[in-house]
Structure 1
Amino acid sequence: MRQRIGTLQICTMIILFQIGSTPLFELGIEAKQDSWLAMAVAASLGMGMIWVYLRLQQRAPQADLTGLYKLHFGRWAGGLLGVVQGLFFAYESMRNVRDFGELTTLTLLEQTPQWIVMLVIFGISVYTVWQGVEVFFRASILIIPFVMLSYFVLIVLLFAAEIPKLSLLRPVLEEGLQPIWGAFPNVLVFPFSQMVLFLMFWKYAASPAKAYRVTYASYAIVATFLIGINALIISVLGPEVASVSALPMLEVVELIRLANFIERLDVIVTLLLFLGLYVKMTALYMGGVLAIRSACGISYRWCAALLGILIYGTSFLEPNNVAHIWIGLELTPRVTMSYQIVLPLLMLLSGIAWVKRKAEAAGLSGPAAKPSQK
């Protein structure tokens, strides 16, 4: 049975993936009250990177990211890059597994051992990956209504309670553009250029042309939403408090008090973050499995099992949450930008004609093929 993902499924998955764990952090806070401007600049550059990714995909519509590496760098070098790429995706998935454990112990289950919480959610992720690309993308359609409605209600309640103060967003560009540039590359690498992951999934689109168009539209929608959420947090907490808050979005919602009975809505935010983390960890995990499978030709499910053990085992290496966040926001972006930005740009600058000829010779220039799960 051929696996296919529809245009709507691609749209909802992009939105959920980009939201992911992003509300856990106040990105670009180095720019203080201009953090939302840093996010806007990063989102614009991220749109440019999507154009790069889609141009590469159009050279060989049946190829995934590993396949593109092989076409551009040769079979052996490309295969090696594919394995490394899969391990990078697995590493980023591991970070979301740890985020889930830390968030749960901080908010809901303070007495529950973290390893149990992480095992349960990652077990669900493993089951999803085993079911394949089509099932996972279908699940996004079930999740998206709750996510969209919940965020809409929370934003309306915040303004109904007159909590945001737009004065906290001023003065704009008080120190010029330097603070905005100081937020890079971190604010671009996470979350916007993580869209490189979809080079593992676009090949399964039932209608590639429509999938490419909806990618731009979905990204624009979710980027606007994330910029708005960033500005909202600053307008409630202010840049000083937001910069030291462990869970800024949670602190914002805890301030909602209406009619003496609408309160304690932090539970909704926690559930939203849980869903975002689940989608992101599963997408990255599945991307890692597909990348390594494409590079080595091993069984999909064997690869899923081995990579799953690696992800769960390494999620305990960081000694505490402070080290986990520091590594994730300071060190990781400088590494991941190599495959999110540098390698795609190198491939884009390679000769288009000979890559297309190689794709045609390899049978990768037609409709997408299915992944084997045997």
Structure 2
Amino acid sequence: MKESITRYQFISLIILFEFGSSIIVGLGFEAKQNAWLFILLSMAGGLILYGLFTRFVSFYPDTPFPQVIQILAGPVIGYILVWGYILYFLYISARVLRDFTILISQTILHETPLFAVSLLFMIVVGFACYLGIEVIARSGELFLPYVLLMGGLFLMFVFIMDLPKIERLEPFFNIGVKELLSLVFPRGVSFPFGELIVFAVIFPHLEHPLNSFRYGVIGILISGIILLIISVTILMVLGPTIAMNSTVPLLDTISLVNIQGIIQRMDPIVIIIMVVTGFFKITIFFYGGVTMLQYLFKLPRRKSKGLIGFIGLLVMTVSMLISENIAEHLKEGLEIVPLYVHVPMQMIVPSLLLLLLFIRKRKIQKK
């Protein structure tokens, strides 16, 4: 029986996914005072990319993503591309897992080894994937209001203390167009907006797959605007230099809150938000990779315990070995991965598949 999710659940997943590791590393701080413009341009590019991803749905609305790849690229090249996306989804899952294990070990579990934190995370992620997309989507629907509420509390406390200073955003437009566009592409477009390519695996489970573009645009706009508000608030509190050099700028911002000595040490609010959004981002990428493996091996979900367990251990191992320290990890994630990993899998391959789709369509029309 086909698993089905509602439009609200789908939008909830997109919002939580987009927050993901963007909450940890921040968004647009490399553009300094122009972070707001960086986010707007990146979001516009992300909407174009998302339109590209959903184009396939209009022709194959109920067809699994790996099958669409094989239909368009042929059995041999399609098989290779399917494996490429499996490795891509699992690799990014491992990277995001490393983001959050470092965060947790540095904030609340100081003496706990990274291995133990990773294992606990992957047990929950693996169990969620075994239960299926319906359970993941219902969880997203349940958690989203609490995440938005806690995010609202963060903003409220920061503004009550009058921490944001508008002058920290001055001077406006102090960056060249060429420099700004070099930041937007590929880094801004690919992270986090271009990563929605993984939702191609989820499109067939929508109640109305043909509406996936409309629902996705709503999710992207909501998450993008919230990320814009949070990033600008952080800049107005910390200033561009501190925000850009901070490991977790959101955490540094909330730590400054101290209202009459009563409301202080609000770090748990941010940590809870980060853990929840991180769980959904890791889970969706992991689900994407596992689902495509199940398709290749023709394994039903209920008989995939061993596969999920093995892949979970593999992802956990990769996350541990991916970099030696957080500085190296962030440098790889912000400088190397966008150009050499995201661009091919988010832009080049989907564009070639779309070209093949149009060629196929024209041949059918001529017949």
Worse-superposed segment, 177-186 or 43-52: 177-186
Q: What residue in structure 2 maps to residue 31 of structure 1? A: 31
Query: Does residue 159 of structure 2 align to residue 159 of structure 1?
Result: yes
Query: Does residue 348 of structure 2 align to residue 324 of structure 1?
Result: no
Q: What residue in structure 1 maps to residue 319 of structure 2? A: 315
Using the alignment, how far apart are the partners of 1:332 and 1:43 within structure 2?
19
User: What's the CA shift for 1:173?
Assistant: 1.2
What amino acid is aligned across from residue 257 of structure 1 in structure 2? N
| Aligned partners of 2:54 and 2:212 also within 8 Å | no
User: What's the CA shift for 1:299?
Assistant: 5.0
Q: What residue in structure 2 maps to residue 173 of structure 1? A: 173
Q: What residue in structure 2 maps to residue 45 of structure 1? A: 45
Secondary structure of 1:56's aligned partner: helix
User: What's the CA shift for 1:350?
Assistant: 2.7
Using the alignment, how far apart are the partners of 2:204 and 2:151 within structure 1?
31
- Mapping of 1:43-122 within 5 angstroms? 43-122=43-122
- Mapping of 1:249-264 within 5 angstroms? 249-264=250-265
Task: Specify every segment of 5 or more residues in structure 1 that has no aligned partner in the other structure, as ranges.
Answer: 359-374
Using the alignment, how far apart are the partners of 1:142 and 1:78 within structure 2?
37
Count of matched residue positions in the alignment of Structure 1 and Structure 2 = 358
| Aligned partners of 1:26 and 1:248 also within 8 Å | yes
- From the superposition, tell whether residues 299 and 207 of structure 1 become closer, same or farther in structure 2 (CA, over 3 Å): closer
Identity %: 28
Query: Does residue 347 of structure 2 align to residue 344 of structure 1?
Result: no
Using the alignment, how far apart are the partners of 2:74 and 2:151 within structure 1?
46
Q: What residue in structure 2 maps to residue 224 of structure 1? A: 225
User: What's the CA shift for 1:110?
Assistant: 0.6
Give a deviation string over 1:137-157, Cα, whole Å, max 9, x none: 111111111101000111111
Secondary structure of 2:5's aligned partner: coil
Give a deviation string over 1:3-52, Cα, whole Å, max 9, x none: 11111110111111111111111333332211221111010011111111
Question: Runs of 4 or more off by more than 4 Å in structure 1?
Answer: 355-358
Using the alignment, how far apart are the partners of 2:30 and 2:161 within structure 1?
28
Give a deviation string over 1:52-100, Cα, whole Å, max 9, x none: 1111221111223322211221012111111110111000111121112
Q: What residue in structure 2 maps to residue 206 of structure 1? A: 207
Give a deviation string over 1:346-368, Cα, whole Å, max 9, x none: 2222343625999xxxxxxxxxx
User: What's the CA shift for 1:293?
Assistant: 2.4
Task: Specify every segment of 5 or more residues in structure 2 that has no aligned partner in the other structure, as ranges.
Answer: none
| Aligned partners of 1:4 and 1:134 also within 8 Å | yes
User: What's the CA shift for 1:159?
Assistant: 1.1
Using the alignment, how far apart are the partners of 1:287 and 1:351 within structure 2?
22
User: What's the CA shift for 1:260?
Assistant: 2.2
Q: What residue in structure 2 maps to residue 215 of structure 1? A: 216
Using the alignment, how far apart are the partners of 1:128 and 1:355 within structure 2?
38
| Aligned partners of 1:82 and 1:294 also within 8 Å | no
| Aligned partners of 1:5 and 1:137 also within 8 Å | yes
- TM-score when normalising by structure 2: 0.93
Worse-superposed segment, 300-309 or 247-256: 300-309
User: What's the CA shift for 1:303?
Assistant: 3.3
| Aligned partners of 1:35 and 1:180 also within 8 Å | no
Q: What residue in structure 2 maps to residue 12 of structure 1? A: 12
- From the superposition, tell whether residues 355 and 204 of structure 1 become closer, same or farther in structure 2 (CA, over 3 Å): farther
User: What's the CA shift for 1:305?
Assistant: 2.7
